[in-house]
């Protein structure tokens, strides 16, 4: 695209071209106007550059609108729009990338840290309808035992909750192995794993309304059951690798325990830096007390129910890879 071309046109001709272009984009240009526009564009490369620039404006504005609308739909499709209007741009991106425009399809996550007796083809207690696949997810219960539980890769329309669900467990562990559960964002990789690991998630590009795409690893959206409860003394631990120097964000999207209130907060951790030893595994331990809402006046009183966790290296692909992350009460890491 070449630089702004208005200066090379007589003022009236520039205005005429702009007017034709605006009417074309509006779908209201008549035959004579279309012929005139075709002639101008065929003759002048600077006008073609201007026209392409205009198409970039239109696309960008439309996608901004879609991102805003998507943020207003999350998490359950019927929140008050005012509650979501002020989300920061990257939070909108999270919403767009992770919840999608439909925002009504859900992947149930475990509601209890205790392993279910279900088998891969069995019926999930309390859930009507077919289930398609089961993924292995490890959850640490309150006694500190790590147990595999199933997550059901079946989508359904979420009915209105009749009553508020109980808080999810306040401990959590996510590890990765083949096959990757539906809803996770990232690419399952097996290279250069630490000992005892079955796999890790490397960032995958997700569309971003500002700069094209972000590179993220993220959990499924577990709005209704929640992933884990955030208490005053909760800590997040993450084992990660960055192949290139730089930082990444940790974002936790949480709601109030009273699900009917549909009020959300995006919590942001401080940046993690890894400048000296790229390519090596590191474990970071962060108290949730250090996480801050990205927006003032958001619910932040504990407990909160985390329903999405995002590891985001933004527009730079630093080959961020998450081997596991877990949540504990207090700083004790396993």
Partner 1 sequence: MALSSNVIVQILLRERVRISASVMVILRDAHAADDVFQQVVLQALQGREHFREPEHLLAWALRVARHRALDSLPRHATRCLDGAVLELLEQQWAAAPADEVSIRVEALHRCMDRLPEAARKLLRLRYEDGLRCTSVAERLGRTVDAVYQSLSRIHRQLRQCVEARLKAGPHSLGEALS
**For binding to partner 1 (CB under 8 A), which residues are involved?**
1, 3-4, 6, 15, 18-19, 21-29, 31, 34, 37-38, 41-42, 45, 48-66, 68, 89, 205, 207, 209-213, 315
Q: Kindly tell me which of 27 and 159 has the beta carbon lying closer to partner 1.
A: 27
- Least CB distance to partner 1 at residue 2 (A): 8
Q: Kindly tell me which of 98 and 139 has the beta carbon lying closer to partner 1.
A: 98
- Least CB distance to partner 1 at residue 133 (A): 22
What is the DSSP secondary-structure string of 157-211?
A: EPPPPSSPPPPPPS-EEEE--SSPPTT-BSEEE-TTPPTT---EEE-EEEEETTT
- Least CB distance to partner 1 at residue 6 (A): 6
The secondary structure of the chain in percent helix, strand, coil, rounded to multiples of 5, reads: 25, 30, 45
Q: Kindly tell me which of 40 and 153 has the beta carbon lying closer to partner 1.
A: 40
- Least CB distance to partner 1 at residue 203 (A): 12
Sign, Cα dihedral of 191, 192, 197, 200: negative
47 sits in which H/E element: helix 45-73
Contact yes or no for 56/5 (Cβ under 8 A): no
Q: At what angle do helices 89-99 and 45-73 cross, to 10 degrees?
A: 70
Residues in contact with 62: Cβ distance below 8 Å, sequence separation at least 6, in sequence order: none
- Least CB distance to partner 1 at residue 7 (A): 10
Q: Kindly tell me which of 52 and 80 has the beta carbon lying closer to partner 1.
A: 52
Q: At what angle do helices 11-26 and 45-73 cross, to 10 degrees?
A: 40
Residue 276 structure tokens: 């000296």
Q: Kindly tell me which of 55 and 280 has the beta carbon lying closer to partner 1.
A: 55
Q: Kindly tell me which of 89 and 279 has the beta carbon lying closer to partner 1.
A: 89
- Least CB distance to partner 1 at residue 274 (A): 23
Give the up-direction half-sphere exposure of residue 246: CA atoms within 13 A in the CB hemisphere: 16
In angstroms, the CA 5 to CA 21 distance is 14
- Least CB distance to partner 1 at residue 164 (A): 35
Q: Kindly tell me which of 47 and 134 has the beta carbon lying closer to partner 1.
A: 47
DSSP 315: T
- Least CB distance to partner 1 at residue 98 (A): 16
Q: At what angle do helices 45-73 and 31-43 cross, to 10 degrees?
A: 120
Q: Kindly tell me which of 31 and 143 has the beta carbon lying closer to partner 1.
A: 31
Label residue 166 left, alpha or beta by phi (over 0 means left) and psi (-120 to 50 means alpha).
beta
């Amino acid at each position: 695209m070449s630089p702004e071309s208005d200066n090379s046109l007589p003022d009236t001709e520039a205005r005429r071209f702009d007017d034709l272009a605006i009417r074309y984009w509006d779908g209201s240009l008549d035959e004579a106007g279309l012929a005139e526009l075709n002639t101008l564009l065929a003759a002048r490369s600077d006008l073609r550059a201007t026209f392409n620039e205009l198409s970039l404006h239109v696309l960008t504005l439309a996608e901004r609108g879609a991102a805003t609308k998507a943020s207003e739909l999350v998490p359950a499709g019927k929140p008050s729009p005012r509650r979501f209007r002020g989300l920061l741009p990257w939070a909108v991106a999270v919403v767009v990338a992770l919840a999608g425009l439909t925002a009504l399809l859900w992947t149930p996550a475990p509601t209890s840290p205790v392993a279910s007796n279900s088998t891969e083809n069995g019926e999930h207690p309390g859930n009507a309808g077919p289930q398609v696949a089961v993924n292995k997810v490890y959850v640490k219960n309150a006694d500190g035992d790590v147990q595999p539980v199933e997550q059901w890769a079946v989508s359904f329309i979420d009915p209105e909750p009749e009553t508020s669900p109980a808080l999810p467990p306040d401990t959590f562990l996510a590890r990765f192995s083949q096959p990757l559960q539906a809803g996770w964002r990232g690419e399952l990789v097996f290279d250069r794993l630490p000992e005892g690991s079955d796999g890790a998630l490397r960032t995958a590009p997700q569309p971003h309304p500002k700069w094209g795409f972000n590179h993220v690893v993220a959990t499924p959206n577990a709005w209704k059951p929640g992933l884990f409860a955030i208490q005053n003394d909760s800590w997040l631990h993450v084992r990660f690798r960055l192949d290139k120097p730089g930082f990444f964000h940790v974002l936790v999207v949480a709601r109030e325990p009273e699900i009917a209130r549909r009020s959300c907060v995006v919590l942001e951790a401080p940046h993690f830096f890894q400048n000296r030893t790229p390519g090596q595994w590191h474990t970071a331990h962060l108290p949730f007390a250090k996480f801050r809402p990205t927006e003032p006046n958001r619910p932040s009183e504990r407990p909160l129910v985390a329903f999405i966790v995002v590891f985001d290296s933004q527009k730079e692909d630093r080959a961020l890879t998450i081997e596991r992350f877990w949540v504990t009460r207090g700083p004790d890491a396993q």
